[in-house]
Amino acid sequence: MNRCKRCSQPAAVYLARHKISLCTEHFIDFMKASVRKTIKKYKMIYPYEKIAVAVSGGKDSATLLHILDGIYGETLELIGLYIDLGIEAQEYSKKSLERARSLCLSLNREFVAINLNKEYQISMAMVKERESHLRRPYCAVCGTFKRYLLNRHSLQLGCEKLATGHLLDDESSVLLMNVLNGNMSQLVRAEPYLPGTNSVLIARIKPLYEISELETTLYAQVMGLGFQEEECPYSFGASTLAYKTLIHDMEGKFPGITMKFLQTFHKRFLPALKAYYQGGEGVTLNRCIKCEGPTTEEVCAFCNIRYLLIGNE
């Protein structure tokens, strides 16, 4: 029988990339300490800030909110911000909304839900019906909507930062995709903390940046956090899933390789990439002429897609 490395009691989990077995109590301590270390390392959070936490109803955002609440308590104002995308298949959005709201209520944290259909007269169901007309993959449109709405409403709520539940698995798979496709503008922004820009783009932080999907799953289960276990019914075939599969296969064969990949990029390649990219013309951030949101063009991607869906309504 495996024993906990900290107290020699029977182990509840084994974390291969760390080569340690832990009992339930010390696994919880380990998770909080790991997130605290990441926050301190990248200088993400300071006491008494007002932070919007993107909650989806899933295990990752549930773990994020629960750990931040446990670490900071009343010294941090946390607002759970949920984007209701109107995914009707399998009542996905309805179930996710219930999970996200329940968690915030259990922690006595403010909960705000933004309904895409009520606020903007569009939904992901409409996107699915007109995917060929939009000439954009469904998941790409979904990502555009979430980024836009989380940014806009976090600012409207008076928050200083937006925290998202992006994990080691997510970040490494997206990093691999951008490296292989040569997406320079994305690679230069592959960081766990991105400062805001002139009150038009909120500062974004990823406290779970060095936490794996396995670890958030175990934490959510151990803590009894109710979360949406079903995957989005429309995510099948998304390109990012293929890259994540590659990352998981490599991690299974070489535990710790995912973290090493991320760390090597940050230490050896990102500084040079930034110097090269910023030595050129860089990117100018404008305000959208329709909604005043952030964009590099005259009209932002959100407003362009909305126009394709419903015109000038």
pLDDT digits (tens, 9 = 90+) for 187-238: 988 899 999 887 899 999 999 999 999 999 999 999 999 899 888 888 776 7
Asked whether 78 and 51 are in contact (CB, 8 A), the reply is: yes
How does residue 138 score in pLDDT terms, banded at 50, 70 and 90? Answer: confident
What does the pLDDT read at residue 184?
Answer: 84
pTM as predicted = 0.93
What does the pLDDT read at residue 307?
Answer: 93
pLDDT at 120 over 60: yes
At 289, which amino acid appears?
Answer: I
Question: Which residues is 201 bridged to in the sheet?
Answer: 197
Asked whether 85 and 116 are in contact (CB, 8 A), the reply is: yes
What does the pLDDT read at residue 136?
Answer: 85
pLDDT at 8 over 70: yes
pLDDT at 88 over 90: no
Which of 101, 28, 38, 41 is CA-nearest to residue 70? 28
The whole-angstrom separation of Cα 250 and Cα 265 is 17
- And the tokens for 161? 């930062």
Using one digit for the tens of pLDDT, what is the confidence trace for 269-290?
998 888 877 654 456 788 999 9
Q: How far are the Cα atoms of 8, 13, 16, 143, 232 from residue 215, in angstroms, in the given order?
A: 21, 9, 11, 24, 21
Mean pLDDT over 20-31 rounds to 97
In this structure, of 71-80, 232-241, 294-303, the range with the lowest mean pLDDT score is 232-241
- Residue with the two structure tokens 């932080």: 205
At 141, which amino acid appears?
Answer: V
How does residue 29 score in pLDDT terms, banded at 50, 70 and 90? Answer: very high
Can you say whether the dihedral through the CA atoms of 231, 83, 239, 141 is positive or negative? positive
SS3 303: helix
What does the pLDDT read at residue 237?
Answer: 65
User: DSSP string spanning 147-162?
Assistant: HHHHHHHHHHTT-SEE
The H or E element containing residue 286 is strand 286-287
Mean pLDDT over 70-74 rounds to 95
The whole-angstrom separation of Cα 239 and Cα 261 is 20
Which of 66, 139, 75, 142 is CA-nearest to residue 100? 66
Mean pLDDT over 92-110 rounds to 96
- Among left, alpha and beta (phi > 0; psi -120 to 50; other), residue 285 is beta
Give all domains of the chain, ordered by start, each with its CATH number: 31-228+238-310 (3.40.50.620)
